[in-house]
Each structure stands twice: as structure tokens, then as C-alpha cells.
Amino acid sequence: MRIISLNAWGGRLYEALINYVRHADPDVLCLQEVLRTPGASPGWAVYRDAGLELPQRTNLFEEISAALPGHDGFFCPTSRGELFDGDIVTAAEFGLATFVRKTHSVIAQGLDFVHGSFSADGWGEHPRPRNAHCIRLFSRDNASTVTIAHMHGLRDPAGKGDTAAREEQAEALVKLIKRVWPGDEGLVVCGDFNVLPDSATFKVLARLGLSDLVTGNGLVDTRTSYYLKQGRYADYMLVTPGVNIAEFKVVEAPEVSDHRALMLDIM
């Protein structure tokens, strides 16, 4: 089973992203920063915030779904706000997306907020709402089960250091996982956590027996050349000892976001 976690960056490198997900052939694709705009045509619009303008794919969820016709897609919104295309204003949803190959059965799942709550009228105040999605899969190929969770951690304008909100976020993630994971099978937790490697988040997750594959393999950079700031950590993938790893890597090429994809093959 191949599990890929990636912050999709709103689809800003759309063509490279679509080609990558098609050819990477994931069994489970965990995406953060995905937009969906039901009823809108595929294409570009602009996200605006405090003088910042970013191009976004208004229907990235549908476009990824079309690129992966053999997968079931789950969209998990955190907020609903405005995108701009000239004088046209569109209400779009922003959040997580999880894609699962149809040959795997989703036998349990949980979705909840780990910070804040759904913002139905605007993107929300900083630090904005964040959620996590957890699924339990039955693999028909080898009659085994595995639980996979991913999260987009809150972004604090003050930086990636520990805060009370981030510790509460970690506790909320553990609570969600425990609703789905039976505790006696492999567990994979991944995503863009927006924390540093020494964060208390990892101490909280360690209570589930989880250890990080990024720092555990001596890797120091999960960002691409499109990210120009200091502090190259953001994305992590953690596993319990029951996960039988065939290969793990931080994907250096192609660059499909300002984040690198994390890819885990398990047996």
C-alpha cells in the first residue's frame, strides 16, 4: 500500500500536481490546502488576505477526483470564504481531501476539528480553523487493516513554536484517532503540522506509540525551492511499530507545491 501526504498549496502548480498524482499511483492520498466550489467551472481565482494575493484552483478537489477515477474522494472543509476572478466573487470551501483506491474498503472513519470550528462566512480569524480526517482501511489484497490519519496544523503568524493552542490541537488529534483506531494494528499519521521537530506535539503523539519518519531518518527539509523562508520543516509522517515499512521518502522531484510530498510504501 502506498500512502502519500502533500500540502497541495491550493493547486498553484496545477499541471505538475495533476501529473504527479496520476503517475505516483497512491493507494491513499492525503492532501491539505484543497479548495472545492460546487457549481463553479474549473479554473483560477485569487485568494486575498491582508494585502496578500494568491492564485488558487477553485475546484481542485474535483480536478484531483478526475485524475484519480479509481479512487473514492472525501472532502473535509474547514471554512467557506471568497475567491476573486476579476469582478466575479465566488464562495469556495477550503480544507482537507482524502482519496482512497476503490479496491480498499473504508470500514471506519472520523472527522473533527482540532482547532476552532467550521467558519461558514469567511475564512475565519487567525489562527484559522483546522481539522483532521482519520480512516480505517481493509485491504482485500492481503486481508489486513490499517488506520491512517492526516491533519493540517494551525498556522500562527507568530511562528511554529509551541503554544497552548497547538498542544490542545495535538490532544484533539489523539482523541479523534482513538475513536477510529482499535489500537492493535498499524497506525500512520501524517500531514502539514506547522510545527518544529522539538514540538510537544510529538510527545503527545508518542503516547500512541508513534514515531516520526522524517526526523527519524535524519531528514531536514520538507519544503521545495518555491518556499523562500527559513525553517524547512512543516510536514511529517509518523508510524507505530506495527507498520511494516517497505520504503519511505521525502519526494525531491517533481516539485508540485511549496511542500514536498511524503511517500510511504508499506507491506
pLDDT tens track, the chain, 267 positions: 999 999 999 999 999 999 999 999 999 999 999 999 988 888 999 999 888 899 999 999 999 999 999 999 999 999 999 999 999 999 999 999 999 999 999 999 999 999 999 999 999 989 999 999 999 999 988 889 999 999 999 999 899 999 999 999 999 999 999 999 999 999 999 999 999 999 999 999 999 999 999 999 999 999 999 999 888 999 999 999 999 999 999 999 999 999 999 999 999
Least Cα distance to 133 among 103, 101, 80, 97 occurs for 97
For the entire predicted model, the pTM comes to: 0.97
Q: How much is the pLDDT for 8?
A: 98
Q: How much is the pLDDT for 143?
A: 86
| Distance (Å, whole) CA 23 – CA 80 | 31
Q: Which residues pair with 25 in a beta bridge?
A: none
Cβ contacts of residue 164 below 8 Å, gap of 6+?
A: none
Continuous H helices in the chain? 14-24, 60-67, 164-180, 200-206, 213-216
Q: How much is the pLDDT for 140?
A: 85
Q: Which set of grid coordinates corresponds to residue 37?
A: 466550489
Cβ atoms of residues 20 and 261 within 8 Å? yes
Q: How much is the pLDDT for 41?
A: 81
| Distance (Å, whole) CA 21 – CA 129 | 27
Using CA atoms of 174, 177, 181, 187 in order, give the dihedral in degrees to the nearest 10: -80
Q: How much is the pLDDT for 51?
A: 82
Backbone angles phi, psi at 91, to 5 degrees: -90, 115
